[in-house]
Amino acid sequence: MLTRCRDRRMRVCHFRVGTCAPLPPSHTVIMGEVELSCRAYVKMYLHACLYPRGSINGLLLSSSSAEGAVCVTDCVPLRHSHLPLALPTQVALTQVDAWCSQTQQRIVGYYQANACASDSSPTQCALKISDKIAEQFDGAVLLMLDGSKMPPDYRVPPIVMYERKDSRWILKDKHMIMLRQWEETRAIASQMLEAGDHALLVDFDSHLDDITKDWTNQKLNAKIAELSSPPNGNI
Amino acid sequence: MASVSEMYDVGWEEMRDKLRKWREDNRRNSEQIVDVGEELISEHASKLGDDIWIIYEQVMIAALDCSRDDLALTCLQELRKQFPDSHRVKRLAGMRLEALERYEEANKHYDAILQDDPTNTAARKRKIAILKAQGKSTEAIRELNEYLEQFVGDQEAWHELSELYINEHDYGKAAFCLEELMMTNPHNHLYCEQYAEVKYTQGGLENMELSRKYFAQALRLNNRNMRALFGLYMSASHIASSPKVSAKVKKDNIKYAAWAATQINRAYKLAGRGTKETKYSVKAVEEMLESMQITMS
């Protein structure tokens, strides 16, 4: 059956976005702050663009152990169909866990984009998986991609973030969400979409359909790194 | 911007044949269909003969999928000129309204078709699709159930209903829909495997045993179905570690799980040969299987 989903469109939102200036060496990290790297954002974005007609989700990873702040340095795209069905997600979580312990990373959060572009509220499935992640990591975050805020000319990160307080997921203060070099990140995401690079993205669903496909997306990571300007601190 | 024929060095016949193949396979690769179809229509329309009408339809639907209303309108207008009273074309006009999110008008379109022809399944299904697009899952489910009472053999509808139920976490009813599909398509490994996944998600010993049986069945039908292999491993492991099973059942399921684990390892080793990217997967799978052994024993 053919159902049409809206283009993921955009709206203005207030986030603290970094400028292109390099980080001063004495930058102190604020308690409860969450930083989203270029690589993590671009892959999430491409995942959403690769499957625009359905819900998608994935895991957020961190390779840093900075105290007080959560630095999302990477993400692993998981599903693009039948999100509530448990088996592929369980297999994925165990494999990603194993990979993380080999590579000094940890799972720090979860992202999802809903099929209905105008609805960015977390589903039962999103809450369940995020709860599981929060059991293992205190500062876990739940990130919803807001499809209504993603047209070609969007200005601000189309994301809504939740954090866990008193066993509930509540909206995180936008000012505590940091995207360094946002303009550049946005440009890279758009450029890669234009070039059709989203077709290279592998999520766990497509890995299970063909296990020669690499769900760590090394190729895509390399492309993103290539397109980034010489590093000013983390990207 | 180079044309499709230039980029891929193909002639118009190949483009036409490609479109036909995509039609027959019911593929939703809309961006490609738009690229190929638009060029074919604008430059080779005269050579296509009567094929052109079905191509207009195919390209129009793809154009709607890509927000190319300009192209969609062009195709629609050609079709309207040629088939002024056709319900099939009216349905396309309705789909265009849906794409523009003018759902009220679209519904009126479909209602008009149904007034004329109450057995028009396409119009009924479009109305259900509108409910789905509007996020009205409960209504969509109710309408689809009513539809299936009348058109009980419509497999596409059964599958759509199973998806709607899965999204509502109503696994019992999703399983029922998949049972219908398995009955009419006993050789389709995907329905078996999806049924098994639903049972697995439902949980509980009885469902887990059913799940294991159907994962095994899916593997019999297609021994390369990786999800079924993982499913067999996980469901057998769960049964083996349940305190409610007899020693014999435990022993049997440990055997099944061990067999599945060997197959998984073998498949990953084969996949990992020659590609350094998949080395992460291979190692991760080994660790995963080891860690589950620990919880099982």
pLDDT digits (tens, 9 = 90+) for B102-155: 999 999 999 999 999 999 999 999 999 999 999 899 999 999 999 999 999 999
The answer, yes or no, to whether residue A119 has pLDDT greater than 60, is yes
Higher pLDDT, B278 or A79: A79
> Which residue type sits at A81?
S
> Which residue type sits at B215?
F
- What is the value of pTM for the model shown? 0.87
Distance CA A3, CA B133 (A): 7
Interface of A with B in 83-112 (CB under 8 A): 83-88, 90-91, 94-99, 101-103
B74: left (phi over 0), alpha (psi -120 to 50) or beta: alpha
Q: Is A79 on the interface with B (CB under 8 A)?
A: no
Residue-wise pLDDT for A23-52, tens only, equals: 444 444 455 789 999 999 999 999 999 998
Mean pLDDT within B181-200: 96
Worst-scoring range by mean pLDDT, A24-38, A80-94, A112-126, B167-181?
Answer: A24-38
Q: Is B67 on the interface with A (CB under 8 A)?
A: yes
- Residues of chain B in contact with residue A209, where contact means CB-CB under 8 angstroms, are 226
Mean pLDDT within B2-28: 87
- Residues of chain A in contact with residue B156, where contact means CB-CB under 8 angstroms, are 1
| pLDDT given at position B117 | 94
Residue A170 β-bridge partners: A163
| pLDDT given at position B289 | 72
Name every residue whose Cβ is closer than 8 Å to that of residue A144 and which is 6 or more positions away in sequence. A111, A112, A113, A114, A120, A121, A122, A126, A159, A160, A161, A162
Task: Find out whether B201 and A86 touch, Cβ atoms under 8 Å.
Answer: yes
- Of B98, B157, B291, Cβ closest to residue A94: B291
Q: Is B22 on the interface with A (CB under 8 A)?
A: no
Size of interface A-B (CB pairs under 8 A): 113
Q: Is A127 on the interface with B (CB under 8 A)?
A: no
Worst-scoring range by mean pLDDT, B21-35, B190-204, B205-219?
Answer: B21-35
Chain center to CA of B106: 25
DSSP string, A6-61: ----------EE--SSPPPTTPPPPTT-EEE-HHHHHHHHHHHHHSTTS-EEEEEE
Task: Find out whether B189 and B202 touch, Cβ atoms under 8 Å.
Answer: no
Worst-scoring range by mean pLDDT, A59-73, A117-131, B81-95?
Answer: A59-73
The reply to whether residue B226 touches residue A211, judged by beta carbons under 8 angstroms, is yes
Distance CA A233, CA A66 (A): 14
Q: Is B278 on the interface with A (CB under 8 A)?
A: yes
Mean pLDDT within B68-96: 95
Indicate the SS3 state at residue A159.
strand
Task: Find out whether A150 and A10 touch, Cβ atoms under 8 Å.
Answer: yes
Distance CA B233, CA B235 (A): 6
- Residues of chain B in contact with residue A118, where contact means CB-CB under 8 angstroms, are 135
Written as six digits, the tokens of A138 are 């205190």
Mean pLDDT within A97-118: 91
Higher pLDDT, A181 or B215: B215
Residue whose tokens read 């205190």: A138
Does the structure's ipTM exceed the value 0.95? Answer: no
pLDDT band with cut points at 50, 70 and 90 for residue A235: very low
The reply to whether residue A95 touches residue B201, judged by beta carbons under 8 angstroms, is no
Q: Is B201 on the interface with A (CB under 8 A)?
A: yes
DSSP string, B155-219: HHHHHHHHHHHHHTT-HHHHHHHHHHHHHH-TT-HHHHHHHHHHHHHH-SHHHHHHHHHHHHHHH
Chain B's closest residue to A151, CA to CA, is B67
